[in-house]
Chains A and B, each alone.
Chain A
Amino acid sequence: MSTYLKPVPNTWWLKRKPYILFMIRELTSIFVAGYCIFLLILIFKLGEGSSSYSNFITTLQSPTSITLHIISLIFVLYHTITWFNLTPKILVLYRGEERISQRLVAGVFYFTWTAVSVVVAWLVLGF
Chain B
Amino acid sequence: MDSSFCCCCLASIGVLNMTKSNEPIWWSLFSAGGMIAAMVFPVLIIITGILVPFGLAGDDPLNFEKIHSAASHPFIKLILFVIISLPLFHWAHRFKYTLVDVGMKSASTLISIVCYGGAIAGTIITAIALFKI
Contacts and interface: CB of A to CB of B under 8 A. Distances in A.
Given A36-B88, A124-B62, A70 B49 contact: yes
A94 B119 CA distance: 34
Contacts of A112: 39
Given A44-B129, A50-B64, A126-B66, A33 B49 contact: no
A1 interface: no
B62 to A, nearest CB: 5
A57 B47 CA distance: 12
Contacts of A89: 13
A113 B83 CA distance: 15
Contacts of A35: 37, 41, 44-45, 87
Contacts of A40: 84, 122, 125-126, 129
A75 B47 CA distance: 16
A80 B41 CA distance: 9
Give the interface size class of chain A.
35 or more
A80 B101 CA distance: 22
A69 B42 CA distance: 10
Interface in A26-40: 26-27, 29-30, 32-33, 35-40
B44 A43 contact: no
Interface of A: 3, 5, 8-10, 12-13, 23, 26-27, 29-30, 32-33, 35-40, 42-44, 46-47, 50, 53-54, 57, 60-61, 65-66, 68-70, 72-73, 76-77, 79-80, 83-84, 87, 89-90, 109, 112-113, 116-117, 120-121, 124-126
Interface of B: 2-3, 5, 12-14, 33-35, 37-53, 57-58, 61-62, 64, 66-68, 71, 80, 83-84, 87-88, 90-91, 94-95, 97-98, 101-103, 122, 125-126, 129-130, 132-133
Given A26-B101, A80-B38, 8 more contacts: A8-B103, A23-B98, A33-B95, A43-B130, A47-B130, A70-B49, A79-B41, A83-B38
16 contacts: A8-B3, A8-B5, A23-B98, A26-B97, A30-B91, A32-B33, A36-B122, A37-B122, A40-B126, A43-B126, A43-B129, A57-B52, A66-B50, A80-B42, A124-B62, A125-B57
